Structure 1
Amino acid sequence: MSINKKENICMRKKQQEILNFIESFYKRNRRFPTLKEIASHFNISAVSTVHEHLEKLVEEGYLKKVKRGIYELSYNVWSFPIIGYIAAGNPIEAVNDLFEIIDISNLLDSHNCYALKVKGNSMIDEHILNGDIIIVENRQTAINGEIAVVLIDNQETTLKKVYFEDKMVKLVSANPNFEPMYFESERVRIQGVVRGIIRDYKSQLKRKG
């Protein structure tokens, strides 16, 4: 059956919508949708129609078929191109050649992580500002010098660099206005270690304004 130009444009639009849905579904659920879930989302009665769109996306290199009824993205949804340098001091020559891909999937992988919103400025010298969102790996151990979420006396939590000294734990701020704190090791529990920071630049501007 021949497809006219108008029909072809409609098919491509639907394929783009399906691709966008697969991306957003994966980000929410950490798995890829089934054909039935895609059909249900778009109110498509025939699963074979979904299959046709997915096979086209496979041909174009956007998807790969891993098993019956399951298709995965052939690219990482958390990857972005680094296209050059930008000067934060003196201006430099503009260079826009693509030379590297940055993959932040390890930062945003939520299987063993959680997020916290920072209150206060005790970690500013580590570039963690009031209002930032930190991504925390959920674990109960830390290495000397790591920035950790610490529970003190099962009552208070704080974000500090941790150092283990004999039977004591030293909690160090990244701000000269705050003195180090010392606690007996049994009073301190590590609840996670910082893996990254998310900063909403517009929100920062609002707070300054």
Structure 2
Amino acid sequence: MLTRKQLELLDLIRTRMEADGIPPSFDEMKEALDLKSKSGIHRLITALEERGFIRRLAHRARAIEIVKLPEAMERPGFRPRVVAETPAPPAPPRGAMPVVPVHALELPVMGRIAAGVPIEAISEVSHHVAVPGSMLSGQGAHYALEVRGDSMIEAGINDGDIVVIREQNTAENGDIVVALVEDHEATLKRFRRKGGMIALEAANPAYETRVYPDHLVQVQGRLVGLIRSY
């Protein structure tokens, strides 16, 4: 089942592709759906892709294929249209090792997250990163963040790594989460609830555990994957 905004975006893409042969730009999508930033559009597109309604063509701007439509939106004679054709790959040289295809999805990298002292929350997409589909957890929306700092090194998370986050607003004790502190600072820490307080624990003895009243901490997502930077 799609949310109202997801349906609105899918209908907008469908209408523009039927009329003009190309989908709308992210700016046009943002304006049409009355969203404040393009990060919201990235999340809606990712959700539609994960649910199998659209497919993005890698390395091509504004290249979206509509794979299917919900029953309520189907029209007689509708056929998916592809923007920007992908050329067939050249034949491999004789004796080359076979290439095994790996299912991957492009996730928006929403900027940098502090694994140290909290930094200002980031809501704008800086770029995209290809992530193996097997790394994604469940059917929810996912996004990625670049780690800055060393407070989570004993959890295997180093400065410069990319963390894959499943978007959710709840967490279990022991989960590594993206936490929004006092509505403006974001940090990557291990989550602990103690009565009416939330402890954000580092995985480095050089950093102290920070404890806040639970109403000052909002869980923005849970760590589900890691891409190492060498």
TM-score computed with the length of structure 1 as normaliser: 0.50
Pairing 1:126–2:150 present: no
Identity %: 30
- Indicate conservation of the 8 Å contact 1:150/1:191, yes or no: yes
Q: CA deviation at 1:199?
A: 1.8
Q: How many residues align?
A: 125
Structure ranking higher on relative contact order (CA contacts 8 Å, 6+ apart): 2
Q: What's the secondary structure of 2:200's corresponding residue?
A: strand
Q: CA deviation at 1:77?
A: 2.0
What residue number does 1:151 align with?
Answer: 180
Q: In structure 1, what residue type is equivalent to 2:135?
A: L
What residue number does 1:160 align with?
Answer: 189
Q: 1:36 to 1:191 in 2, by over 3 A?
A: closer
Distance in 2 (CA, whole Å) between partners of 1:35 and 1:195 is: 32
Distance in 2 (CA, whole Å) between partners of 1:112 and 1:129 is: 24
Q: 2:82 aligns with which of 16, 29, 37?
A: 37
Q: For 1:154-203, what per-residue CA distance to the aligned partner results, in whole angstroms no more than 9, with x for missing partners?
A: 121111000001000011000010111110001110000111111232xx
Q: In structure 2, what residue type is equivalent to 1:131?
A: G
- Indicate conservation of the 8 Å contact 1:121/1:130, yes or no: yes
Distance in 2 (CA, whole Å) between partners of 1:124 and 1:30 is: 40
Pairing 1:180–2:222 present: no
Q: In structure 2, what residue type is equivalent to 1:77?
A: H
In structure 2, the gaps of 5 or more residues are: 1-54, 69-78, 89-100, 105-130
Correspondence list, 1:5-44, <5 A: 25=57, 37=82, 41=85
Between 29-38 and 157-166, the greater mean CA deviation after superposition: 29-38
What residue number does 1:142 align with?
Answer: 171
Distance in 2 (CA, whole Å) between partners of 1:117 and 1:195 is: 14
Q: In proportion to residue count, which structure has more helix?
A: 1
Q: What's the secondary structure of 1:118's corresponding residue?
A: strand
- Indicate conservation of the 8 Å contact 1:25/1:31, yes or no: no
Tell me how large the CA RMSD over aligned residues is: 3.6
Q: 2:133 aligns with which of 102, 105, 109?
A: 105
In structure 1, the gaps of 5 or more residues are: 1-22, 44-52, 54-74, 79-102, 202-209
- Indicate conservation of the 8 Å contact 2:193/2:199, yes or no: yes
What residue number does 1:195 align with?
Answer: 224
Q: What's the secondary structure of 1:37's corresponding residue?
A: coil
Q: What's the secondary structure of 1:41's corresponding residue?
A: coil
Distance in 2 (CA, whole Å) between partners of 1:105 and 1:146 is: 21
Q: In structure 2, what residue type is equivalent to 1:164?
A: R
**Runs of 4+ residues over 6 Å off in structure 1:** none
Q: CA deviation at 1:132?
A: 0.6
